[in-house]
Chains A and B, each alone.
Chain A
């Protein structure tokens, strides 16, 4: 029954600076864009989408500056299929472009108000200009998961004939679950034998799972963004994909994961979006344990409730004292303060701590725990003294 997972290389292309910034309300400054690009480069992200040249002079200046610098990552710019947009890319000094065009009937009818022939011609025209300028290009099919399969295969064969670098399949409206993603990608991959890249949205919370399904269906590359930043619900989160590939699929990309928290924080500030404390992989609460059962397990052996060590993603473990804590947490916490409690003391302090936590509607700070302890010992002391006096 067990499935042997093949050891193989998977590419990721980060679009934080392109589709991430395209999120309604998000704007990066020039300084931030350059910094994010450098951070992604430093941790070893193989490919980065850095911007959209057709967006105007200011954006082009930023792209120019990033392209001029020396990066290990391969840098891509994004163009809607239109020869003019390729010219803008060339002006920026870009060497790699993504050529995007919608392919579904509904987009053709309602967005472009054109037919399939128009799409083919527009794509060919744009590819021609890209090739004239010696650009390396990915062809991206927007709304591919709602596209007539025959038409999609035709576009892939055009891309293949014109020596495209890869073909991108976009699940623009999150239409697929992982099983359909797998079937779709493996079918297309078998039929075309061309390198496929998959772009997912998180509308139903399945972006990462669909990315993994695509890899299992023999896609070679995934589009990701830091923290999943992107239009609407966002994209597959870079940190989730990297860690899921590593721990669930045994595919190690060699990326420096210990910088994940730092990068997520930087992007969160630059996009004015706080990282939820429960954000998978990088949320501060991911390694916080409160409930008696979990905390007790983690104290005995972190592996009871953790798959990897917090330092691996730049986080730290916390034991939180609150309503659901057990006496082991109390014993352990006070040991950290160099106070050895008996089981009886721990249980009595636990009762006080739980009551206080319910009253405050939050866990306790370490100081508050000490106040409880101080009052508790004072009371016990005076009780003992009274007993002695009487």
Chain B
């Protein structure tokens, strides 16, 4: 019962008290997205994606990792010099030379990233907590000396000791950092845990928080929203959720969830979402699943009688937004689950008006066909099916006529 009471309190708080205005998106398709095992963008692709993100309305673009040098550095330099409306951020380890590379690229913001969990500090960095705090302080100081906007990224924050994480945040804040990025690096939080932890940091330290969530257990979007409800104002997203392992919070899903579930309209140009998603899918050589939330090509395709019956009467029966809102198309196809209403409508689109009885009979024929084809029917197959069905039901007359013709010849 105690658990329920606590969570009810949190849920109510999350539902009402929080002001969701001034939410900002920091898109990291070009950094964490490209860091995905197997993904490489060409420089021109990076520049094109940056331009599109800006056009859609993103507030900040994480353009890459300047210290990698070479092509990567060139691309970031180019993006920073495009004169975009959004801020351009370079990603750095908490190391001076990394920040120098960012400064050379001409970005206006930097992320300074360092792990805050004991497991990462001991096993990966092979250093101490004190060393971590010292690195945060020196690198923020250094970045601030160039008048840059500074985000301090607490990598693996979700596995960090809360006391130490608070110390980490305080160190960052006191050194002049503009925000703290809370990284659920392994995607191990659920929305309730996320809410409580982020709220805790905000209540105690009182600095701007950015959510960086991963989708390992399918929670990336829900956790980002939980963070916002707890008072975070930035979210780190990627187009299509592109990112290491199971990926990050998908940009298009977050924007639409904010708009249609939480009632926060960021004013983005959502009609470009499909185009943007397709472009990133191609550039990252990863197909866009037809069922991908928000932008999948199958989302406004209806086959089953139960859904089609509602949709044909009023799309709001099954849809919270329109296909045009995200640059998709609506379609009705005929398959195993189609029934009278679906078939009558589809035939109408194909220019054939049919009666209810015909629709009932056709439904069975079409169902058998789709089962043997193991797929929905093409329009041409539907027309062909209808023609042979009409041929069959008109056969008796036809047959008689032929017989009499024959008789005449004799």
Contacts and interface: CB of A to CB of B under 8 A. Distances in A.
Interface stretch (B98-106, B171-179, B369-377, B384-392): B369-377
Contact of A183 (B15, B193, B260, B368): B15
A209 B374 CA distance: 32
Given A205-B220, A240-B218, A297-B123, A58 B367 contact: yes
Interface in B204-243: 215-223, 225-226, 229, 241-243
Contact of A232 (B189, B261, B286, B298): B298
A204 B40 contact: no
Contacts of B217: 208, 240, 243-244, 247-248, 280-281
Interface in A189-230: 202-210, 212-213, 216-218, 228-229
B349 interface: no
A120 to B, nearest CB: 20
A41 interface: no
B188 A307 contact: yes
A111 interface: yes
Interface residues of A, number: 107
A361 B42 contact: yes
A234 B307 CA distance: 14
Given A173-B318, A307-B186, A320-B37, A280 B216 contact: yes
Contacts of A300: 123-124
Contacts of B6: 3
A72 B390 CA distance: 47
B37 A318 contact: yes
Given A203-B293, A205-B257, A288-B37, A306 B186 contact: yes
Interface in A21-73: 21-29, 52, 55-56, 58-59
Given A297-B123, A361-B285, A110 B8 contact: no
A363 B39 CA distance: 7
Interface stretch (A91-99, A123-131, A149-157, A268-276): A268-276
Given A24-B335, A276-B289, A305-B186, A287 B245 contact: yes
Contact of B261 (A175, A240, A296): A175
Interface stretch (B54-62, B269-277, B309-317): B309-317
A25 B261 contact: no
Contacts of B7: 3, 182, 186, 216-217
B15 A107 contact: no
Contacts of B10: 179
B219 A208 contact: yes
Nearest to A111: B310
A82 to B, nearest CB: 12
A228 B296 CA distance: 14
Interface string B253-268: 1001100111000000
Contact of A301 (B119, B303, B304, B316): B119
A306 B289 CA distance: 25
Contacts of B336: 21, 27, 55, 59
Contacts of B221: 204-206, 209
B190 interface: yes
B40 A233 contact: no
Interface in B353-410: 364, 367-368, 370-371, 373-376
Contact of B222 (A173, A177, A289): A177
Contacts of A322: 37-40
Given A182-B11, A204-B293, A232-B299, A212 B317 contact: no
A297 to B, nearest CB: 4
A217 B5 CA distance: 10
A5 interface: yes
A323 B124 CA distance: 21
B287 interface: yes
Interface in A262-292: 272-274, 276-281, 283, 285-291
A29 B336 CA distance: 11
Given A29-B371, A172-B318, A205-B293, 15 more contacts: A22-B304, A23-B291, A25-B333, A209-B190, A213-B190, A216-B3, A218-B4, A248-B190, A274-B289, A281-B217, A286-B246, A290-B38, A296-B124, A323-B40, A358-B42
11 contacts: A52-B337, A178-B190, A204-B257, A205-B215, A209-B191, A229-B291, A233-B292, A272-B374, A288-B245, A289-B37, A301-B123
Please provide the 7 A-B residue pairs with the shortest distance between their CB atoms, ordered closest to farther: A209-B222, A208-B218, A290-B37, A24-B303, A204-B257, A205-B221, A288-B37
